[in-house]
Amino acid sequence: MVEERQETTRIPEAVEEENLDGEPSGEKEPAPPQEEAEAAEDDGRRWYVIHTYSGYENKVKKNLEQRIRAMGMQDRIFQVIVPTEEVVELKGGQRRTVERRIFPGYVLVQMILDDDSWSVVRHTPDVTGFVGMGNQPTPLSQEEVDRILKRMETKPTTFKINFREGDKVRIIDGPFKDFPGTVDYIDREKGKVRVLVSFFGRETPIELDFLQVERT
């Protein structure tokens, strides 16, 4: 069953590397240690995405890792990751860094797909299935994996706020304190918001820090 699944879901980018140097026949020079290590790792392991009940991602990770150890599957299932990133949250007039799931309801698993490894993952409590075409698990490309891992390592630059463009807000700090306004533009990377404030019957844009406004 799984052998057919692997053939139909393997993507071109994931094929194993071959020697393309056209070396002449005869004794070959030994491969450098780094190349030997890379060849050893290219044993068919791929990253797959499993779907879970929302809010159960960390529980699934813990349960799956316990099943891997208990069932001796460390040589078939290698890593279980809940993709998260750090964001700056504004609450109570203060900034704090919090961890947020990048893909709620999904967990990444690095594994060699066969009948046994598929069964261990699929029958973990709160796992609802693999992501793929129909019933066929589809591995992520290395480019997709690298992009996700890079995002997890990036320092927080995104702000989590409770207002959006068009919302009515009140300025709570600075020379325009207590003035009402309307959110015109939000710059999440810089933590700035442009608010339209009415002066003498005309609207004037004012750039403020996220901490200087609150939704009304």
Q: What is the DSSP string of 119-181?
A: HHHHTSTTEEEE-EETTEE-PPPHHHHHHHHHHHHSPP-PEE-S--TT-EEEE-SSTTTT-EE
**End residue of a domain, out of 159, 177, 206:** 159
Q: Are residues 149 and 60 in the same domain?
A: yes
Q: Are residues 107 and 200 in the same domain?
A: no
- Measure the CA–CA gap between 216 and 201, rounded to whole angstroms: 21
Q: Are residues 191 and 120 in the same domain?
A: no
Tell me: pLDDT of 46 over 90.
yes
Query: Between vectors from CA 11 to CA 8 and to CA 16, what angle results, nearest 5°?
Result: 110
Q: Are residues 113 and 137 in the same domain?
A: yes
Per the CB < 8 A criterion, the answer to whether 65 and 71 are in contact is no
* Ranges of H-type helices in 21-141: 33-41, 57-70, 115-122
Q: Are residues 145 and 69 in the same domain?
A: yes
- Measure the CA–CA gap between 50 and 32, rounded to whole angstroms: 36
- 185 beta partners: 194
Q: Are residues 166 and 91 in the same domain?
A: no
Q: How far is CA 3 from the centre of its chain?
A: 28
pTM for the full predicted model = 0.60
Q: What are the phi and psi torsion angles at 115 (to 5°)?
A: -60, -45
Q: What is the pLDDT of residue 88?
A: 74
Q: Are residues 120 and 176 in the same domain?
A: no
Q: Are residues 58 and 147 in the same domain?
A: yes
Domain with 150 in it? 43-159
Q: Are residues 170 and 111 in the same domain?
A: no
Our count of domains for the chain comes to 2
Phi-psi region at 178: left, alpha or beta (left = phi > 0; alpha = psi -120 to 50): left
Flag whether 1 is in a domain: no
Q: Are residues 175 and 74 in the same domain?
A: no
Tell me: pLDDT of 10 over 60.
no
Q: Are residues 76 and 129 in the same domain?
A: yes
CATH at residue 82 = 3.30.70.940
pLDDT digits (tens, 9 = 90+) for 116-145: 999 999 999 999 999 987 778 999 999 999
pLDDT digits (tens, 9 = 90+) for 58-99: 999 999 999 999 999 999 999 999 999 887 776 666 777 788
